[in-house]
Structure 1
Amino acid sequence: MSDECLFCGIVNGSVPATKVAENETTLAFMDIHPGTDGHLLVVPKRHSRDLLEISAEDLTAVTLSAQRVARAVVDVLGADGVNLLNCCGADAWQTVFHFHLHVVPRYVDTSKDSLVLPWRPGIRGDADEITRIGAILGAALR
């Protein structure tokens, strides 16, 4: 744990939070800046800065906990869908540097959900550029 990390403080109980679910490796709690009704965060109890640093075991545990929470927001809150979101790095909107997954319930009812996508799905990208970048990444991952 980091003494300077907000989410480590929530995990150890020194920072107040509305805790929703907990197991030996993860904690789910309500986001105090919710994008929609029922917006939660799921964190590993062990501190990891971001997606690039988290262990495979903790990443698996957080993902499985997020899936459990996602089922609850659909079944209990009546969400019409769910977004899982991770922001890795300040330029990718990460503001708390302790790995976390946002579990964002989505609703057709805009009084519960005012989020909009930051990009426009369905707009095709440049096929040559997609192929070029795919080849670079594919070679790096082989």
Structure 2
Amino acid sequence: MDCIFCDLKNKKMPAQIIAKNKDFFAIFDINPKAQKHILIISNRHAENFHDYFSKNPENFKSFIEITNSLIEKYSLSESDAGYKIICNSGEKAGQSVNHFHAHLLSGKIGNWQV
């Protein structure tokens, strides 16, 4: 199976990992849609949010922990811009990589605030 996120996790491709825990790692998106655009990626390959958490509900705590650590690290809760956490599931919902990941976005996107 060819999966860019599996390749990043397995160090087959270079990546600047900005946070990690036992279940997830985080990187800056290489094509950011906001001033801050972070990808939170599962270590285990799963197609989407439902596929991942229906098989690993205990990992939701780990997801919240890494997300909160990034919010704190980059002072997003104190930012006037605010932030969004987005999980696209399926091509029609905008998912472009079939490996569970979430987008943590903050700042301006075009003419509107996140």
Report the TM-score range of the alignment, normalised by the length of the smaller protein.
Answer: 0.7 to 0.9
Any residues of structure 2 matched to 1:40-55 within 5 Å, and which?
A: 40-54=38-52, 55=56
Distance 1:47 1:58, change over 3 A: farther
Aligned to 1:32: 30
Any residues of structure 2 matched to 1:18-97 within 5 Å, and which?
A: 18-54=16-52, 55-74=56-75, 78=79, 80-97=81-98
The structural deviation recorded for 1:48 is 1.1
Q: Which contiguous aligned blocks of 4+ residues in structure 1 show a shift greater than 3 angstroms?
A: none
Aligned to 1:114: 110
Q: Using the alignment, how far apart are the partners of 1:115 and 1:58 within structure 2?
A: 36
Which blocks of at least 5 consecutive residues in structure 2 are unaligned? none
Which blocks of at least 5 consecutive residues in structure 1 are unaligned? 118-142
The structural deviation recorded for 1:78 is 4.8
- Higher share of residues assigned strand: 2
User: Which protein is bigger by CA-based radius of gyration?
Assistant: 1
Q: Is the 8 A contact 1:85 1:101 kept in 2?
A: yes
Aligned to 2:105: 104
Q: How many residues align?
A: 109
Q: Is the 8 A contact 1:79 1:105 kept in 2?
A: no
Q: 3-state SS of the aligned residue for 2:33?
A: coil
Q: Using the alignment, how far apart are the partners of 1:64 and 1:13 within structure 2?
A: 23
Q: Using the alignment, how far apart are the partners of 2:80 and 2:14 within structure 1?
A: 26
Q: Is the 8 A contact 1:85 1:102 kept in 2?
A: yes
CA RMSD of aligned residues (A): 2.2
Q: Using the alignment, how far apart are the partners of 1:115 and 1:88 within structure 2?
A: 26
Distance 1:115 1:86, change over 3 A: farther
Q: Using the alignment, how far apart are the partners of 1:116 and 1:5 within structure 2?
A: 32
Q: Using the alignment, how far apart are the partners of 1:16 and 1:82 within structure 2?
A: 27
Q: Give the percent of matched residue pairs that are identical in Structure 1 and Structure 2.
A: 24
The structural deviation recorded for 1:38 is 2.4
